[in-house]
Amino acid sequence: MKNLTFILLLSLLPQAGLWAQCQDTVKLYLNYTYDGPDIVVDIQVENFQEILGFQFGLNYDNEVIKYESVSSPISSFDESALSVIEQGNIKFLWLSPSSTIGESLPDFSTLIQLRFSALQASSTSYLEISETNLPVEFINEAAFELCVKGSSTTLVTSSGKIFGKVTHDLNKNCDPELLDPILNKWVIELSSSTKTYYRAINEDGEYSFGLPAGEYTIRLIPKNELWKVCFDEFDIILTEESEVLQNFSAHAAVDCPLIKTDISTPFLRRCFDNTYTLFYENQGTIVAENAYIEVDLDDDFDFISTDFTNYTITGQQLRFELGNLAVNESGYIKIVLNLNCATTILGQTHCVTATAFPNEPCIVPPTWSGSELSITSECDELNDRVIFTILNTGTGAMKEAKRYIVTEDDVMRPPTNIQLDILQAETLELPADGTSYRVITSQDTDYPLGKLATLAIEGCGDDGSGQFSTGFVTQFEEDDRDLFIDTDCQESIGSFDPNDIIGMPKGYGTKQYIEKEVNVEYLIRFQNTGSDTAFTVRIKNYIPESLDLATIQMGAASHEYTYQFNQDRELIITFDDILLVDSTENEAASHGFVKYKILPSSTLIEEDRIENQAKIYFDYNEPITTNEVFHTIGRDFILESIDWMGEKINVTFYPNPTDQELKIDTGDFDFEKIQYTIKNQIGQNQLSGIISDKNANIPCGELPPGIYIMNIRFDQKTQAVLKFIKM
C-alpha cells in the first residue's frame, strides 16, 4: 500500500509546487566501516529539512555482499520501509505519519544504516545511489519535489588493506622521486600459503587489496621483458584493520619502444557497415618516435570512414600517423568497413591486420641466423591453382632445417623440411577446388619474434557445384604472437546470440586442440535488448586456473572501460556511463564488445581442458550468463609424425586427423603383412590388428576422440611410430 500511497501523495500535491524549480538540493553520501565481520553502510544526508517522504534505491553487488539488517534515527522508519531485490537492489520508501509535519536531520548525519555480510573475501565491489532502478524523489512540507544528488563508492570486503602506487624510475637508481611518472595497467600478484590474488594497476598508477589478516608475499609483474622491477617482491604481515603501504617502481632493462595493437569488431555482417575498434599502447620503455599503424583490409571490405584525422589510404591499406607516442600512452581509433554483398557468402572468413611501427626487435639472441620466413598466397583461378610462396626475407641463411605443413580444410598433409638461403623461396602449387588451405612453418632457431609464420586462403575456385568450404580458417592461430601486430579473422554471420563469449582460435577438431604457446583471444559480446538505455554494463569473467592470469593483455573494446580483479581470479570489466541504447531504438548502436588475450598455464599437460564463461550485467539487473567455450591442450597435434626405427619406407598414412579410418598408401613398396597396435596418450592398448591386403585400411571409427600413438611393423622388420588424431 505504501507505493500506492506515495504515488497518490504526489498526484495530490499542488502542481505549482510539484513542477516548480527545485529548492535546496538533498545530497546523499555513502560511507562504510567494519564492525567485526559486518560491513556497516551509512547513507548520510545534507539539506534533509522538513521532509514528508522519499523513495530511492541502493545498488550493490549481491555476489559480493549480502543484506542483513537496517536501522534509522527516524522513528517511523523500519524494515517495512524497504524491499530487497535479488539482483542487488534495495528500494527505500518512507512517508511521514503526519501529512503536514516533516522530519529534519543535521547535515552529514546518518539517514539509514545498513548491515551487510561479506560473501567474498578480498573483493572490490560498489555501492551506488542513482535513478537506475527506482526514481529518486524527496518531498518537503511546502509540497516541493526537491532536487537530489546521489553518490557511489568503491567497497572492499575486508578489514586489512595493502595499497600503493607504481612509478617509472627514470634515473634507474631504484630511489623513487616525487616527479617520477606513474605506470598503469600493470598487474600486482599477492599470495598467501593457500591463495593467490591479483589486482590491476588503475589509471592513477594505484592498487589496493582488502584482505584478511595473515602473511603475504607481493610482487609487481613486469609488463614485458623490456622492464625491470627494482625490488621483485616483499613479504608483508597484515593484521586486522591495519593498512600497509607498499609502493613499487620499475625502470628500463632495455631502452626500446614497443607498441601493442589490438583490433576487433563484435561481429561481421555482409552488406552492412561494420565498426572496428583499433587499440594501441606504447608498452615500451622509451618514446616511440614517428609512430604509425598500418591496417591491411581483406579485399572484400570497402572503407567507409574513421574518427582519426591523420590517415592515408592506399588500395586496401590504411595508415594512421600517431606521431611521438610516450611511454604508457594509448588510444582508440574507430574504423567503419562495409562487407561487400556481391563478392562474399555467409560464413566466409574475412581478416583485418593491424601492425604498429617501429617494431624492430630490441633483444636479439646472438645465435640467431638472421633468417626470417614470410608467406604469400595467390589465387590463380585462370589456371585453377592456389600458389603459396615461403620466402626467406631475412639477412642470413637458415642454419637449421624446419618443418612446414599444409592443411586442406581439416586434413593435414605430411610435413616437409625446409631450409632456405637468403631470398630463396619454396613455391607450393595446389588445386583451386574450393578447399581452404593453410601453410604453417616454424621460424629458424632463436628467431627473436613470433616463432612461426602462417597464412590461409579461402574461397579460391569451387568444388564443381559452385561452392567452396568455410569455417576452417579460424581453427588455427594467425601470425600475430608479437604485441605490435594483431590479426582479427571472423566469419560473417546471420542471426546470432548477442550476449556470448568466443575463444579464438577455435581450435582443431572436435576437441578444439591448441598448443600451450598459443595466445587465446576471448571476445565477449553484449547487446542491450531491453526497453531502455543501459547506463552501466559490467562483465564478470572468472579466469580459470588453466589460464596464466599474469600474461593477460586487455585489448580493444567498443566503448571505454576499466577493469579490476576480484577475489583471487575474477576479472571485472566495467563500462561506466556507456549509455547503450536499446535494440528497438537503434539496433546497430545497441551492441558492444571487449577482447583480451591470455596464455594457457605452463603447468598444463596434453588433453587438459580450458573452459571459460562470463556473466553480463546491464545496470543492476539479473546477469545474462554466456555460453561456455573450451579448448584442449595438445602438442604437435597438427603434424603427421612418423618416426622410423629401421629402414625408412615410402609409405604414408592419411587423413590425419581421421573420423573413420587411416588410409595406407604404400606406393611401390611390397609387403606381406602390416602389424599395428594403437595406444592412447597414457599408453593403454586400444586396438591392434594385421593387414595383408594392399587395399585394406586401419579402422578407427570405434575409438573415442583424442590423440593416439600407433606402432607399426612391416613384415616383422621395419618399425615405425605414427601419431594421429581421431575426430
- Residue 38 to residues 29, 67, 112, 117, 557: CA-CA distances in angstroms? 20, 10, 16, 5, 37
pLDDT tens per residue, range 199-231? 999 999 999 888 888 899 999 999 999 999 999
Q: Residue ranges per domain, the chain?
A: 2-156, 160-252, 373-475, 641-726
What is the CB neighbour count within 10 angstroms for residue 208?
A: 17
CB contact at 8 A, 110 and 42: yes
Q: Does 17 have pLDDT greater than 60?
A: no
Assign 134 a pLDDT band (cuts: 50, 70, 90).
confident
d(CA 467, CA 473): 16
pLDDT tens per residue, range 110-126? 999 999 988 887 888 89
CB contact at 8 A, 522 and 551: no
Q: Is 34 exposed, middle or buried (0-12, 13-18, 19+ CB in 10 A)?
A: middle
Q: Does 638 have pLDDT greater than 70?
A: no
Q: Is 236 helix (H, G, I), strand (E, B) or coil?
A: strand
At 383, list the grid cell: 589456371
Is the domain defined by 641-726 classed in CATH 2.60.40.3080? yes
The H-assigned helical ranges of 112-152 are: none
- What is the reported pLDDT for 319? 98
CATH architecture, domain 160-252: Sandwich (2.60)
pLDDT tens per residue, range 381-404? 899 999 999 999 999 999 999 989
pLDDT tens per residue, range 251-301? 999 999 999 999 999 999 999 999 999 999 999 999 999 999 999 999 999
The type of residue at 691 is I
The fold of the 373-475 domain, in CATH, is: Immunoglobulin-like (2.60.40)
Assign 718 a pLDDT band (cuts: 50, 70, 90).
low
Highest mean predicted confidence (pLDDT) among 80-84, 140-144, 485-489 = 485-489
**Mean pLDDT computed over 304-319:** 97
Between 3.40.50.1970, 1.10.10.10, 3.40.50.1820, 2.60.40.680, what CATH number should domain 2-156 receive? Answer: 2.60.40.680
What is the CB neighbour count within 10 angstroms for residue 516?
A: 17
Choose the weakest-confidence range: 8-12, 554-558, 697-701. Answer: 8-12
d(CA 580, CA 617): 12
d(CA 225, CA 363): 9
At 555, list the grid cell: 585489448
